[in-house]
């Protein structure tokens, strides 16, 4: 009889881990949903130097203009006329995000201005230009 009582007590001593797993999965889902993903431009550019640069918060999209005036968004070379549609799509995915233009210092100013116009037409409220510090 004593053996049965001690066996019942050992069975009752187990800890139910289900509530803890539920909390862990809910936290995981929360962090995944609230994470901000940055869309990379796809190329490295030689940015101009500026002393008045300000660090941007919540950058979600990087647009690059290379030295040979090629436009890159999200690891793909894009035509200047297609920038607007691409920016509209990316801003629809992340409305609070901002757009940063990475223009190579050897890129033609006319191409950079046209890309900026396309970004603004795509719905970006402000366009920041990436620079290097002294």
> pLDDT tens per residue, the chain (134 residues)?
555 665 555 566 678 888 888 999 999 998 888 776 666 667 777 777 776 777 776 667 889 999 999 999 888 899 999 999 999 998 888 888 788 899 998 999 999 999 999 999 999 888 888 888 76
Tokens read off for 125: 């409220």
Burial annotation 103-114 (CB, 10 A radius, 16+ → b, else e): bbeebeeebbeb
DSSP annotation of 39: B
| 87 plus 123 within the same structural domain | yes
- Inside any domain, residue 87: yes
Q: Residue 93's pLDDT is what?
A: 85
pLDDT the model gives residue 12: 64
CA–CA separation, 3 and 9 (whole Å): 10
pLDDT at 97: 78
Q: Is residue 26 left, alpha or beta, with left meaning phi > 0 and alpha meaning psi from -120 to 50?
A: alpha
What pLDDT sits at residue 3?
A: 59
pLDDT at 10: 59
Write the CATH number for 84: 3.30.420.270
Regarding whether 123 and 90 lie in a shared domain, the answer is yes
Domain region containing 11: 2-34
Contact of 129 with 103, CB cutoff 8 Å: yes
Q: Structural domain tally of the chain?
A: 2
Which pLDDT score is estimated for 36?
64
Structure tokens at 15: 């800890």
User: Quick one: 64 and 27 in the same domain?
Assistant: no
Q: What is the SS3 assignment for 127? A: strand
- The answer to the question of residue 134 being in a domain is no
């Amino acid at each position: 009889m004593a053996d049965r009582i001690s066996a019942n007590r050992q069975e009752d001593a187990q800890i139910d881990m289900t509530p803890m797993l539920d909390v862990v999965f809910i936290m995981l889902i929360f962090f995944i949903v609230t994470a901000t993903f940055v869309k990379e431009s796809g190329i490295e550019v030689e940015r101009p130097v500026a002393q008045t640069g300000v660090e941007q918060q919540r950058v979600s999209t990087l647009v690059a203009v290379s030295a040979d005036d090629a436009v890159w968004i999200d690891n793909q070379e894009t035509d200047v006329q297609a920038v607007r549609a691409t920016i509209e799509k990316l801003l629809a995915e992340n409305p609070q995000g901002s757009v940063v233009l990475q223009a190579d210092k050897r890129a033609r100013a006319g191409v950079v201005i046209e890309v900026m116009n396309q970004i603004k037409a795509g719905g970006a409220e402000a366009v920041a230009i990436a620079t290097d510090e002294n």
